[in-house]
Amino acid sequence: MSQPKTSMFNRNKLKLGIFSPNCSSGMAVTKVPERWDASWENNLKLAQMADEAGIEFLLPIARWKGYGGESNFQGSTLETITWACGLLASTRNISVFGTVHAPMVHPIFAAKQMVTTSHISRGRFGLNIVCGWNKDEFDMFGMEQLEHDKRYDYGQEWWDVIQKIWTEKAPFNYDGQYFHLRDVIGEPKPYGGRPVVMNAGSSGAGRSFGARNCDFLFTVLTDLEKGAKDVVDIKAAAAGFQRAIDVFTTSYVVVRPTKKEAVEYHDYYTKEMGDIPAAEYLMKMQGLHAQSFPPEAFKLFRERFVGGHGVYPLIGSPDDVAAEMAKISQAGFIGTTIAFVNYVKELPYFRDEVLPRLERLGLREPVQR
Ligand SMILES: Cc1cc2nc3c(=O)[nH]c(=O)nc-3n(C[C@H](O)[C@H](O)[C@H](O)COP(=O)(O)O)c2cc1C
């Protein structure tokens, strides 16, 4: 199936996306008063600012309850498809993803929701498929999660049904292990072709699912050397399915005029004002325990979890941040997501100081108006 020519396929060598603005506190597990308020007004302001700046996409987190602590990290969230719909109706070029937990939403319903969003946006909607994750959310839905790798078998059927609805002109029956469907049909078809699709599985089964089905796979970067190897492995896995895939990573940014100022602010919001009980719960959900890591590695991860939900830190002056992003690109990644303690307050400085440096480094082109 052809695909709409969106920002996700533009010429920029290093693409950028804003991650988790639909969730209170975004990615920073902190109590600072300026932490992100994920109100609709703030999301709209951010989306329009990012669109103007030529940022390629917005990626939400589908999260159904908070992580506790004093800030109740991510306790207030906007549902991702309806959020994407509103933002797409109010922007021009940027792509906006919706994140769907496949086991929680019937594929016929999901296909219809997404096709509607695809038409509203003239093809700028993207899908992030999540096959299962935080147990506490599944408990809240009264659902037992399948054994880990089976979640991806279920996800495969879910995605096969959706693709059939989006391509078949005549009613079809579907008989798989998990779905038995009769006379299935869906019109209209997506605007301009299949929406862009991503996945962020990290296990063998998760990555194989991504390699087989997705345009982009998102991975968490622990260090650049391992990251470069991950990119090679994931591309090779996709080649095994006669497909090509590109790999994104995910990072958080603290950029200030000098490295000293950036480090001081990072220390302030993580060490002085970090919401440690919420970060501990988040790490517990991810299966990260002090017992299973050497103390130094655990300390590093803990810092990253407080600073930005466990993703790669980009902390420093505009030169430092641009140089580190260049290394991410050299490692083979097609781009990275970014997040700030307060997106609307901090994006303008990033736009004015880091984006021009990335252009001078040949990683991005100036925005065409
Ligand atoms: C960039 C990124 C975005 C993700 N978004 C979500 C999300 O919004 N909701 C969710 O429940 N899980 C999300 N996940 C979790 C993944 O879908 C996946 O469950 C997790 O990486 C574990 O992979 P595995 O199942 O292969 O072990 C995300 C992970 C990453 C790295």
Tens of pLDDT along 174-227? Answer: 999 999 999 999 999 999 999 999 999 989 999 999 999 999 999 999 999 999
Q: For 73, how many CA atoms within 13 A lie in the half-sphere containing its CB?
A: 27
Nearest atom of ligand 1 to the alpha carbon of 137: 11
Residue 369 has pLDDT above 90, yes or no: no
Does the residue 366 lie in any domain? no
Does the residue 235 lie in any domain? yes
pLDDT of residue 250: 96
Question: How many structural domains does the chain have?
Answer: 1
Residue 296 has pLDDT above 90, yes or no: no
Residue 135 has pLDDT above 90, yes or no: no
Gap from CA of 219 to ligand 1 centroid (Å)? 9
* In the block, residue with structure tokens 């719909």: 85
Residue 287 has pLDDT above 80, yes or no: no
Domain that holds residue 166: 7-360
pTM for this predicted structure: 0.96
Q: Which of 102, 105, 60 is nearest to 85 (CA)?
A: 60
Does the residue 289 lie in any domain? yes
**Residue to mutate (ligand 1; options 23, 202, 217; most atoms within 8 A of CB):** 202
Token reading at 158: 């879910």
Per residue in 24-66, pLDDT tens? 999 999 999 999 999 999 999 999 999 999 999 999 999 999 9
The SS3 call for residue 316 is strand
Gap from CA of 312 to ligand 1 centroid (Å)? 15
- The backbone torsions φ and ψ at residue 59, rounded to the nearest 5 degrees and listed phi first, read -125, 120
* In the block, residue with structure tokens 């509103």: 86
Token reading at 301: 């991860």
CA distance 354 to 336: 14
Token reading at 179: 């779905």
Verify whether ligand 1 is closer than 6 Å to residue 145 (CB atom): no
CA distance 60 to 229: 27
Does the residue 367 lie in any domain? no
DSSP 181: E
* Mean pLDDT, rounded, for 300-326: 95
Share above pLDDT 70 across residues of the chain, in percent, rounded to a whole number: 98
Q: CATH number of the domain that 220 lies in?
A: 3.20.20.30
Per residue in 163-187, pLDDT tens? 999 999 999 999 999 999 999 999 9
Does the residue 1 lie in any domain? no
Which residue is closest in CA terms to ligand 1's atom 23?
A: 201
Does the residue 199 lie in any domain? yes
Gap from CA of 54 to ligand 1 centroid (Å)? 26
8 Å CB contact between 105 and 82: no
* Mean pLDDT, rounded, for 139-163: 96
pLDDT of residue 295: 74
Nearest atom of ligand 1 to the alpha carbon of 63: 9
Does the residue 2 lie in any domain? no
Verify whether ligand 1 is closer than 6 Å to residue 209 (CB atom): no
Token reading at 82: 């309806």
Verify whether ligand 1 is closer than 6 Å to residue 201 (CB atom): yes
Gap from CA of 133 to ligand 1 centroid (Å)? 6
Does the residue 369 lie in any domain? no
